[in-house]
Amino acid sequence: LDETFDGVIFTGYHSAAGMNTNPLSHTMNTQNMHVKINGEICSELMLNSMTAAYLGIPVYMVTGDKGLCEWMKAKCPGTTVVPVSEGFGAGSVSIHPNAAVKAIRENAEKALKADKMGCMFPMPEHFNVEIEFKKHMKASGAKWYPGCRQTGVYTVEFDADDYMDVLKFIYWVL
C-alpha cells in the first residue's frame, strides 16, 4: 500500500483478540490476549485502517464478521460494511456464499462512490500500545524492544507519536 492507491476495501476480516464476536478472534497471532491502542481493543482491521489513513487513503468498505463490522461503522461511519457471519461462542453462522458474493459486489460499487473524507479512518495524535501476552516470557522478551516497558507479568507498553513506529514495534514484538 502506498500513496498511489485511491482507496481500499478489506474483505474477510475477523474480530480482534479480546472480542467475543468471532471464534477466530485474534490480533496478528494467537500469542496474545489482546492488543490495545489508546486503551481500545485493536484488530488487524484497525491496524490496516490506520495504515491507510497514515497514507491518506480512505477505507471504502469492510466485509467480515458482524461484531467487527459494527465496530468499524462506529469508528468510521462513512465506510460501507458487509457482515457475512456472526460469531457465537466457539461457532459462527454465515450467510450463503452466493449471497455473500452478491452483497459484496453490490455494496462495493456503491461504496466506491462514497465521499473520500467520510471514509478516512480517524488517527490519533499519540499512540499508546499495550500488549497482554498469554505467556509471561513473551512480555519479558518484548521489553527489550527500544522504548518498550514491561508493565505487568504478561503486559508491555510502547508510546509513539508516529504511526510507523507503532507498526515497527508490533512487527518485532508480536
Each residue's pLDDT tens digit, 156-169? 999 999 999 999 99
Cα→Cα distances 33→8, 55, 88, 145, Å: 28, 29, 19, 19
User: pLDDT at position 38, please?
Assistant: 98
Q: How many residues does the chain have?
A: 174
What is the arithmetic mean of pLDDT over 137-143? 97
Confidence of residue 5 (pLDDT cuts 50, 70, 90): very high
With pLDDT > 70 as the criterion, what percentage of the chain qualifies?
100
Mean pLDDT (the chain, rounded): 96
Task: Lowest mean pLDDT of 86-90, 100-104, 114-118, name the range.
Answer: 86-90
Grid cell at residue 52? 491507510
Q: How far apart are CA 78 and CA 167, in angstroms?
A: 25
DSSP, collapsed to helix, strand or coil, labels residue 139 as helix
d(CA 161, CA 8): 24
Helix axes 44-54, 66-75, angle to 10 degrees: 30
Q: Supply 50's cell numbers.
A: 490506520
For 90, the grid coordinates are: 466457539
Q: Which residues contact 159 (CB under 8 A, 6 or more apart)?
A: 126, 127, 128, 129, 147
DSSP element (H, E) containing 115:
none
Span 41-71, pLDDT tens digits: 999 999 999 999 999 999 999 999 999 999 9
Q: How much is the average pLDDT of 87-100?
A: 93
Q: 34 near 86, Cβ under 8 Å?
A: no
pLDDT value at position 24?
A: 87
